[in-house]
Amino acid sequence: MKPIVVLLALLTTSACAEPLVLPSPSAQAKCPASTTRDGSGVITAAGDIGLLEIRPGRFADEKIIVLVRRGAILGDRLYIRATPAPGNAPGEVDWSTPATAHANAWGDVVFEANTKPIGNTGCWRIERGDGPRDGIIVDLGR
């Protein structure tokens, strides 16, 4: 009979507990996405890599981050490190993507990084995996 009494006590306690109230989206921290542009209109933080755009990929909920790197040529790879920006879970994801031919303000190639390694939502700092630890903050939730 004791297990039944304990179960009734738990049910009574749960039913009387305060409901969980989540903060409204406006009360949650906003992503401080990078917006500083250089003279050619490329979004950049330190001037080493730049963001041209974030666009939809081929599949539903897939996104492509289009980056440029100064001095890059066809055949190069961009090693990317993504870390959650403030207000996101801890962690770090590293991957790479090859240069593809596409003329832009910084040269003749771009790096089209699929967001599959980090997911398609959240606030992320994107930086060179083999370079300085300052990067561009992107909001994948937009």
6-62 pLDDT tens trace: 333 433 333 444 433 333 344 346 889 999 999 999 999 888 899 999 999 888 778
Domain residues of the chain, as ranges? 26-139
d(CA 89, CA 86): 8
Assigned architecture for domain 26-139: Sandwich (2.60)
Q: 107-114 and 43-44 as β-strands: parallel, antiparallel, unpaired?
A: unpaired
Q: What angle do CA 110, 74, 49 make, to 5 degrees?
A: 40
pLDDT tens digits, one per residue of 95-141: 999 999 999 999 999 999 999 888 888 899 999 998 877 789 999 88
Q: 136-139 and 123-128 as β-strands: parallel, antiparallel, unpaired?
A: antiparallel
Contact present, 50 and 134 (Cβ < 8 Å): no
| DSSP code for 29 | P
Q: Distance between the two ends of the chain, CA-based, in angstroms? A: 55
